[in-house]
Structure 1
């Protein structure tokens, strides 16, 4: 690749963000294809913020991790919380955060004991392995929760 190739890895990972970062929201209504819509929404944000496309295999792997975590969090909301209400993707120079809001106040619990050979029940374990941090926050007064995952932005 030449120095003028936009896929080179020597450019900033998030080159065009304002100092306070940027937020993308996708309001969801339980329609079919929710997981795919959320992945597409996140992929477009990653393109707009300079994560993709990339010639750097580590940066590509990190973007793939982000998309997999989106899939896992949205799938969990579909299976266990009546479906997600909103996806929020927020980027700053230092981190990328994924928020999935749903209407169930009960916090997610990884299936324990975790058994890699068992079918199903690996979503939150996968999120914990791929994300820098994850958790859930109540929305208040039993109105649901936000399940979130954060990724540290690699140095350019």
Structure 2
């Protein structure tokens, strides 16, 4: 990734980065891709944002592996107030948080984690595919909700 994705004022908004999954190691490769993109956008210095984005990527990719026939693509989009994460798969189910949620039971925590760390999340459907997305607010210094941008 080049340094051309930033200006003197910060990262260039509207950028979209796409990772196509190969066989094996999807969660790790997705997290690594997200970390590199945030670094390239100059956002990796915000530890909380970096951790939240990588954890959401882990959860969405894991869900695609378990319930969607495996992830096809990971897309990160830099908006003026958030980083949008999209994981595309071929699954036909619509993910829903397990209810009632029990923190003492194994499994079923992924979408609850995504819901707590993101400002919004949802599902986009298309014939033969779906994208599960989540948005993480940018910190104020990067033009987030408390910023001036």
Q: Pick the TM interval, shorter chain.
A: 0.7 to 0.9
State how far apart, in whole Å, the 2-side matches of 1:62 and 1:118 are.
28
The alpha-carbon deviation at position 61 of structure 1 amounts to 1.3
Report the equivalent of 1:108: 95
Report the equivalent of 2:34: 42
The structure richer in strand per residue is: 2
State how far apart, in whole Å, the 2-side matches of 1:110 and 1:92 are.
26
Question: Do the aligned residues in 2 keep the contact of 1:106 with 1:144 (CA within 8 Å)?
Answer: no
SS in 2 for 1:70: helix
Aligned pairs for 1:1-150 within 5 A? 15-18=10-13, 21-29=14-22, 31-52=23-44, 54=45, 59-139=46-126, 141=127, 143-150=128-135
The alpha-carbon deviation at position 33 of structure 1 amounts to 0.6
Question: Do the aligned residues in 1 keep the contact of 2:52 with 2:136 (CA within 8 Å)?
Answer: no
Any stretches of 5+ residues in structure 2 without a counterpart?
1-7, 142-149
Question: Do the aligned residues in 2 keep the contact of 1:65 with 1:130 (CA within 8 Å)?
Answer: yes
Larger-gyration structure (1/2): 1
Any stretches of 5+ residues in structure 1 without a counterpart?
1-10
The normalised TM-score by structure 1 is 0.81
| Misfit runs of 4+, over 3 Å | none
Query: More relative contact order in 1 or in 2 (CA 8 Å, sep 6+)?
Result: 1
The normalised TM-score by structure 2 is 0.85
